Amino acid sequence: MLRAGARVAALPAWGHTSGRESVRRSDEVTDRDADGGTMGAERTEWTAIELLESDEVAEPLLAGGVRCHGGFGSDGGYLPPRTRFRTPAIEAWQARHRDEFRSEIIEAPLDMWPEPYPNLAQTRYLLGEGVRDPIVTILTRIGTVEGFGALIRHVGFGDPQRHFAESVAGTAVAHLENGLFEAHARDEAGWESEAGHKDMWFAARDIAFEHPVTEDETALMLERMGISTPGAPPSPEAMLQAASEMRIFADIDLSLEMTIRRMISILLIEVQAFHLFAWAEDLLSDDGLVAGEGAAARLVACIRADETPHVEYLRTALTEMRDRTFVGESGRGHPGDEVIGRLWDDAVADSLGPRREQQLRTTVAEVEHALAGHRRRDEILEGFHARGTVHPATA
């Protein structure tokens, strides 16, 4: 069960370097890093079965009657799923890279993204006024988008070695389609009888707001926000057409560029999510506003712990690519920092620009929808906006 005493690691402090500087290769590693390079002797070759293996748990994670992945060790600490070997593998790949290339792992720039919208003050104000539908919608959206994470198992670029001049043996890149993508997909969408992040977010919502929506209401809610529920993966033809329209490097294998785009996009989403975790954990632990006596917040803390290996393997694989030479379809070499840097810049610009603006607009629309016909509509809207630091109408 999701006990009040369950322990989850504190929020990680990701790198504070922003923009392109976080992607450029650094030829400097600290003495501590250099010493850590001796870990290059650690095992760096793993099977997919090993990367998908979980630790044995003393107690399963149950939330609102849902059996979730992961569980609790004998000491009461939370154990994320599929990390028995995945975590040490990532650590070994990072250490080996530092040792061989004398460069640091790409930093995930958490401080580039502003606070969640609505912020905590706005959210508490709405709930205090009895307006809970926009918050229910946000939690539903998060869970639905998490479910889309399963699509990562459908991307790939074949034998990774043919795309790089230097060896990729014993790297995260060599294991992307050999366990890492599949582990990520299972974490997000669940596997067999165990719920993943999609249903864990829904469980947190249902605990906090006591089952606020039906399936039909959920579908209408997502339709208003322009989100369709995940179904069958897009056809290869549709994926190829979409990738061709976005292609930047004509000489780089299209499936490889498409995979890198997806990896960077997911990494940025994962990093931004740590702001969201802090927002959700604070909000859902407030017994004066939500139900569940903090159980929903503890469930979100477990989800947060699960995301750490996602951030780390993506950072590692992108760094390995950055510091190598891409081999184009013509046989010509392309500096990895140029390829990764250009795709990174595009993804950041989209994340902080059009994508965020759209999210702000749809969130405000949900607040207005919830207040439609309310006798104090204008007053509550004014109070909501007054408590925010971001004003979408002029953003």
Q: Residue 395 has what pLDDT?
A: 40
Q: Which residue's structure tokens are 């500096």?
A: 335
Q: Tell me the CB-side half-sphere exposure of residue 349, using CA atoms within 13 A.
A: 7
Alpha helices in the chain (DSSP H): 31-36, 48-51, 86-101, 120-128, 133-147, 181-189, 197-209, 215-224, 236-246, 254-284, 295-322, 336-352, 354-371, 377-386
Q: Residue 280 has what pLDDT?
A: 96
Residue 40 covered by a domain: no
Distance CA 268, CA 352 (A): 10
Rg of the Cα atoms in the chain: 22
Residue 155 covered by a domain: yes
Do you find a cis peptide bond into 118, omega within 30 degrees of 0?
Answer: yes
Give, for all 395 residues of the chain, the pLDDT tens digit: 444 444 444 434 333 333 444 555 544 443 333 333 334 358 999 999 999 999 999 999 998 888 999 999 999 999 999 999 999 999 999 999 999 999 999 987 778 888 899 999 999 999 999 999 999 999 999 999 898 888 899 988 999 999 999 999 999 999 999 999 999 999 999 999 999 999 999 999 999 999 988 777 777 777 776 776 555 556 667 766 777 788 999 999 999 999 999 999 999 988 888 889 999 999 999 999 999 999 999 999 999 999 999 999 999 999 999 999 999 999 999 999 999 999 999 999 998 888 889 889 999 999 999 999 999 999 999 999 999 998 885 44
Residue 331 covered by a domain: yes
Domain limits for position 338: 110-394
Distance CA 126, CA 377 (A): 11
Q: Residue 73 has what pLDDT?
A: 96
Q: Which residue's structure tokens are 């849902």?
A: 66
**What are 47's two structure tokens?**
């099977």
Residue 64 covered by a domain: no
Phi, psi of 220 (to 5 degrees): -65, -40
Q: What SS3 class is residue 251?
A: coil
Residue 33 covered by a domain: no
pTM for this one?
Answer: 0.87
Query: Which of these, 247, 107, 97, lies nearest to 173 by C-alpha position?
Result: 97
Residue 271 covered by a domain: yes
Q: Which residue's structure tokens are 């013509």?
A: 330
Q: Which residue's structure tokens are 């604070």?
A: 282
Residue 141 covered by a domain: yes
Residue 229 covered by a domain: yes
As for how many domains the chain has, the answer is: 1
Query: Residue 152 carries which DSSP code?
Result: G
Residues near 220 by Cβ (< 8 Å), separated by ≥ 6? Answer: none
| Conformational region of residue 179, where left means phi above 0, alpha means psi within -120 to 50, and beta covers everything else | left
| Beta bridge partners of residue 62, listed in sequence order | 67
Task: State the virtual CA torsion across 59, 64, 70, 72 in degrees, nearest 10.
Answer: -30
